[in-house]
Amino acid sequence: MAKKYPPQHFLNRELGLLEFNRRVLAQAENPDIPPLERLKYLCIVSSNLDEFFEIRVAGLKEQVKLGAVASGPDGLDAAQILRRVRDQAHQIIERQYQIFNKDIVPTLAIAGVHFLRRTHWNEVQSAWVKDFFLREVMPVLTPIGLDPSHPFPRVLNKSLNFAVELNGKDAFGRNSAMAIVQAPRVLPRAIKMPVEISGYEHGFVFLSSILHAHVGELFSGMEVLGCHQFRVTRNSDLFVDEEEVKNLRISLQGELPQRHFGDAVRLEVADNCSPEMAEFLLQQFDLKPDDLYRVHGPVNLVRLMRIPDEVDREDLKFPPFVPGMPPALQKKGADMFKLIRKGDVLLHQPYQSFRPVIDFIQQAASDPQVVSIKQTVYRTGADSAIMEALVAAAQTGKEVTVVVELLARFDEEANINWASRLEQAGAHVVYGVVGHKTHAKMLMVIRREDGKLRRYVHLATGNYHPRTAKLYTDFGLFTCNEEMCSDVNQVFVQLTGLGKASKLSHLWQSPFTLHSQILRAIQNETKLAKAGKNAQIIAKMNALLEPEVIMALYEASRAGVKIDLIVRGVCTLRPGVPGLSENITVRSIIGRFLEHTRIFYFRNDLAHDVYLSSADWMDRNFFRRIEVCFPLLDGKLKKRVIDEGLKVYLQDNCQAWEMDSNGGWHLKTTRSTALKCAQSILLETLASKPSLSIDGI
């Protein structure tokens, strides 16, 4: 039976996620940020909200449908949460389009980047648009007239569609009043118009505008009375009964196509859509008026994320940088194994290069002394030099074992494809443990040296994904410490074989010891504080939700432990409540890079314990995932993590948001003229200058 906690001690998870998106939206509002980057933030909010509706709102609607009355730690049931979520989401989306139309679009226009609206096209532009429609758009369109033999079509999740109102009879004498046209996904949502046609260096026209202007070409001889763009968001949480399936990969391959056709959870329409058409569409998708979102502009801002890549204007983007490289690794072709034998190596992405990780795997793949490579894969991308190296290693006869997480949300297809290629190359591919996602980031290489086998490992807070290594902040550790390597080996044995969990020397592991060890470390600081000693906890993570850990933090605060939490996303702990959490502060850093590091610091009577982890403090990470949390054993590297991963963030007075006891967030302000931006400081101290370019990732 689940433990009951005082609901007044907890904030709501879903509302916390929406608050996170408000903080991201504030970046789009910030005039100090380059305008194309502001557009990106706007797109990120749309992408985040898509997933929020696809997973979180879809889950709430399922609970309501099933009549569930159970509540979370905050005491709210699904129906109550859903009502509050809708109110907040409507506000966020309305503000998002205000920023787009009244701020970002005019700002970009002043800078020479124009979105050419249909009502402002001149004769030459109109002719170009018509030609483009006839050549590139019309051949791939399939209009579907609605009549008894053509019912309302199955509309793909998040696709751009048009409901067209018609008058007249078609070639067969049918008097259909409506048709549905789905925009082809192969076309971008904003098309760049030639300079000589647009009159601007960078002129774009929306695909929706092109279709609006020429949709009549699809219905020869009929009158178009109205054309309304719409987009439906569907439940995208895959259901695979892992207890019943015999082959998870085959079952998942069968389930993936259904993601496009789950139950509808949200309908977006342009603000000029008639009430009658909106009501008709709501009925088709079995949605309520509260599920309707009217927007003033394109219904899919996510697809505008490509625009900054098509505009070659460095002055409208963040200044470029080259990830730095530790001095010992700057020499091209440096022997990674020799360097690791000299001492542990720590990399801090994206300020430092991800290249050494790729070099390590590529060297292992080609080194005749390497006999075995083992790696976990959660997210890696469709195009990955790391995965190619593993394939090459398997083809040359090395023992390659890859634990591929097939249920990594929205990366399932890429992971299935890599699993197939690895198996074809002769690698051992396993899918972890039923009911537990493998989220740990581990890589182990076994090498024969002087007649003996030596193990080398890489442990990280982030995925083996070269693209996100440029965008996410993460730490990665190389070591050949025998006890650490033995721990990693034991975890791999658990993942690939059968047997009871072994006691590990250094690693804390979910679902076995991580939760209890975190609690023990918090309780130890509580004990020290009660004994009159200085006690301190600093923890940085993406999310803080697990009730028992939160209650332990409250108890530590009551005892006098100073607790600083740096939580990027959702936090359900209430800070600053007298008698409960007055010694706890919660802050969030929202900047150029996505904060992704998980760092746990415990003062421990001046032992200064520092751990890095793949896990947030959430129920799923503690109990339903395979996670690892590893210590920094080298004193210099421990200090680096404290300085680079914690202290600089606690000193930030530019991009830091502070949380109040009601879950509200406020941008930290300062009267000091000495502005301290954590990410800028780290770029300045760790990254290279573009002129000193190293082949960095």
Secondary-structure breakdown of the chain: helix, strand, coil percentages, each rounded to the nearest 5: 40, 25, 35
CB–CB of 443/389 below 8 Å? no
Q: How many angstroms separate the CA atoms of 626 and 620, rounded?
A: 10
Q: How many angstroms separate the CA atoms of 284 and 298, rounded?
A: 22
How buried is 216 (Cβ within 10 angstroms: 0-12 exposed, 13-18 middle, 19+ buried)? middle
SS3 state of residue 332? coil
Quote the crossing angle between the two packed helices 35-51 and 13-29, to the nearest 10°. Answer: 160
- Please report where in the chains the tokens 């993406």 appear, as a residue: 542
In one letter, which amino acid is 58? A
Q: How many angstroms separate the CA atoms of 454 and 504, rounded?
A: 19
Q: How many angstroms separate the CA atoms of 671 and 94, rounded?
A: 33
In one letter, which amino acid is 486? S
**Dihedral of the alpha carbons of 431, 434, 435, 440, in degrees to the nearest 10:** -40
Partner residues linked to 292 by β-bridges: 267
CB–CB of 521/608 below 8 Å? no
Catalytic residues, by residue number, are 439
CA atoms within 13 A on the CB side of 578: 0
Tell me which residue of 695, 33, 640 sits closest to 322, measured CA to CA: 695
Per DSSP bridges, beta strands 223-234 and 264-270 are antiparallel
SS3 assignment for 55-116: HHHHHHHHHHHCCCCCECCCCCEHHHHHHHHHHHHHHHHHHHHHHHHHHHHHHHHHCCEEEC
- Please report where in the chains the tokens 């007249």 appear, as a residue: 168
Give CB contacts under 8 A, 24+ apart, made by 27-31. 27/590, 27/591, 28/96, 28/99, 28/104, 29/99, 29/103, 31/107
Q: How many angstroms separate the CA atoms of 134 and 47, rounded?
A: 31
